[in-house]
Chain A
Amino acid sequence: AQKVTQAQTEISVVEKEDVTLDCVYETRDTTYYLFWYKQPPSGELVFLIRRNSFDEQNEISGRYSWNFQKSTSSFNFTITASQVVDSAVYFCALSEAYFGNEKLTFGTGTRLTIIP
């Protein structure tokens, strides 16, 4: 069975601070995919990034960066120089890679509040 744990329920930081959101996952598969989604107050989930289990390179996209470490089963997300528009609930998700199974297993989310 697959499981995603986001231990941080809520985080508040002052604008321009850096913040890291933690994600730990469990799976018995060797091939899998990890995702981050953002859910702003409007409610619609927005795709941020996908990573497959064979690619451990860190990724940077503007102020966002992701650190994937298979050794610790973690896929952490860092926002640099946070802005008020980053306030949202962020979800980490896992998909095991075999035919007929495309479903996402989500964590419980981390509510991020950026204080102006």
Chain B
Amino acid sequence: GAGVSQSPRYKVAKRGQDVALRCDPISGHVSLFWYQQALGQGPEFLTYFQNEAQLDKSGLPSDRFFAERPEGSVSTLKIQRTQQEDSAVYLCASSAGGLAGYEQYFGPGTRLTVT
């Protein structure tokens, strides 16, 4: 079966541009997560959804970051007015969960470079 997919795999944006990153979770997975991974660091939590409900957005670094999952499947992470510090790999994960403890399956990530 298909795993988690993300698009685009690479994105170069000029400072100030808006970007949209897409995540297709594993079919039927209830929970969807976004993480940010800076070079040489572990993934850092951004936000997560159970179905279409955004239950936790405590990790979003600023109000320039916005995520949605309107129909409880595909999710989009949008970054407005990109800054150089937004350069990172953005990872999406999904789990069958709805409860803590389910393993999360990760996509290949989108590498965002802001110039």
Interface residues of chain A, those whose CB is within 8 Å of chain B, are 4, 33, 35, 37, 42-47, 50, 52, 91, 93, 95-109
Q: Is the CB of A103 within 8 A of B48?
A: yes
Q: Is the CB of B108 within 8 A of A95?
A: no
Given known contacts A33-B100, A44-B108, A97-B100, A102 and B95 CB-to-CB distance under 8 angstroms: yes
In the assembled complex, the CB of A82 is this many whole angstroms from the nearest CB of chain B, namely 22
Instruction: Report whether over half of chain A's contact residues are helix, strand or loop; otherwise say mixed.
Output: strand
Of B12-20, B36-44, B70-78, B79-87, the segment with at least 4 beta carbons within 8 Å of chain A is B36-44
Q: Which of B48, B105, B108 contacts A102 (CB 8 A)?
A: B48
Q: CB-CB < 8 A to A52: which residues of B?
A: 101
Q: Is the CB of A108 within 8 A of B56?
A: no
Q: Which of A98, A99, A104 contacts B43 (CB 8 A)?
A: A104
Q: List 25 A-B contacts (CB under 8 A).
A: A42-B108, A44-B106, A44-B107, A44-B108, A44-B109, A45-B43, A45-B93, A46-B106, A47-B103, A47-B105, A50-B103, A52-B101, A91-B42, A91-B43, A95-B101, A96-B100, A98-B100, A100-B56, A101-B100, A103-B48, A104-B43, A105-B45, A106-B43, A106-B44, A109-B42
Alpha-carbon distance between A93 and B43 when the two chains are bound, in angstroms: 10
In the assembled complex, the CB of B33 is this many whole angstroms from the nearest CB of chain A, namely 7
Q: Is the CB of B45 within 8 A of A104?
A: yes
Q: Is the CB of A45 within 8 A of B101?
A: no
The chain A residue with its CB closest to the CB of B3 is A44
The chain A residue with its CB closest to the CB of B103 is A47
Alpha-carbon distance between A64 and B60 when the two chains are bound, in angstroms: 35
Q: CB-CB < 8 A to B99: which residues of A?
A: 97, 99, 102
Q: Is the CB of A107 within 8 A of B105?
A: no
Alpha-carbon distance between A100 and B97 when the two chains are bound, in angstroms: 11
Given known contacts A33-B100, A33-B101, A47-B104, A103 and B56 CB-to-CB distance under 8 angstroms: yes
Q: Is the CB of A106 within 8 A of B33?
A: no
Given known contacts A103-B59, A109-B42, A95 and B100 CB-to-CB distance under 8 angstroms: yes
Q: Which of A96, A102, A106 contacts B97 (CB 8 A)?
A: A102
